[in-house]
């Protein structure tokens, strides 16, 4: 194993989503977007909906990562994701509809609106659409 690589594991309740060597990984957290290189101090962060970029030796892979948390160690990262999707698993039409619905809800502030939930829905839809672009 080269010095500038770490082991990345992305696990969901249903399956092991990704397992392999990576040079860098970027994703969105509650504290903002972060990019992690090997040799990072041990850190646990909470994931927010956004794009996940995995920089592999020969190329970059992207996915939509929606919720969960990540455990960062100097030589390994495990992301425990509740929802994560490769671009080809995303239903573009549904994402667009969800985006429109969430925007509408937040704009009109309906009665009994769960704002936090609508915002998460908006972020998710945007993450999905951005991954497809």
Partner 1 sequence: MASMRDIKRRKTSIQGTQQITKAMKLVSTVKLQRARAAAEKSQYYFDSMFRTVNSILSRVGHIEHRYLIPGESERKAVVVITSNRGLAGGYNSNVVKLITRNDAFKKEDLDIYTIGNKGREAFARYGYTIREDMPEVIEDPLYSEVNALTDRLLKSFEAGEIGEIYLAYTFFKNTVSQEPRLIKLLPVEAEEEDEASAVMNFEPEDVDAIDMIIPKYISSLIYGGLKEAIASENGARMQAMDNATSNAEEMIDKLSLQYNRARQGSITQELTEIIAGSEAIG
Q: How far is the CB of 59 from partner 1 (least distance, A)?
A: 26
How far is 18 from 66, CA to CA, in rounded Å? 15
119 makes contact with partner 1 (CB under 8 A): no
Q: Facing residues of 33 across strands? A: 28
**Which ranges of the chain would DSSP assign to H, the alpha helix?**
92-108, 115-132
100 makes contact with partner 1 (CB under 8 A): no
**Binding map of partner 1 across residues 12-51, x = CB under 8 A, - = no contact:** xxxxx------------xxx---------xxxxxx-----
Task: Note whether 27 and 79 are within 8 A (CB).
Answer: yes
Number of residues that make up the chain = 133
Q: How far is the CB of 67 from partner 1 (least distance, A)?
A: 8
90 makes contact with partner 1 (CB under 8 A): no
Cβ atoms < 10 Å from Cβ of 96: 14
76 makes contact with partner 1 (CB under 8 A): no
Binding site for partner 1 (CB under 8 A): 11-16, 29-31, 41-46, 68-69, 71, 78, 80, 82
């Amino acid at each position: 194993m080269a010095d500038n690589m770490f082991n990345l594991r992305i696990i969901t309740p249903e399956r092991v989503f990704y397992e392999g060597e990576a040079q860098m990984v970027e994703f969105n957290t509650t504290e903002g977007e972060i990019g992690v290189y090997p040799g990072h101090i041990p850190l646990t962060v909470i994931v927010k909906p956004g794009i996940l970029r995995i920089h592999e030796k020969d190329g970059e892979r992207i996915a939509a990562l929606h919720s969960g948390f990540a455990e960062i160690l100097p030589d390994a990262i495990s992301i425990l994701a509740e929802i994560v999707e490769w671009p080809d698993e995303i239903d573009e039409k549904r994402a667009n509809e969800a985006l429109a619905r969430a925007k509408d809800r937040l704009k009109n502030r309906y009665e009994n609106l769960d704002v936090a939930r609508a915002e998460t829905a908006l972020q998710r839809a945007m993450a999905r659409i951005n991954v497809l672009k």
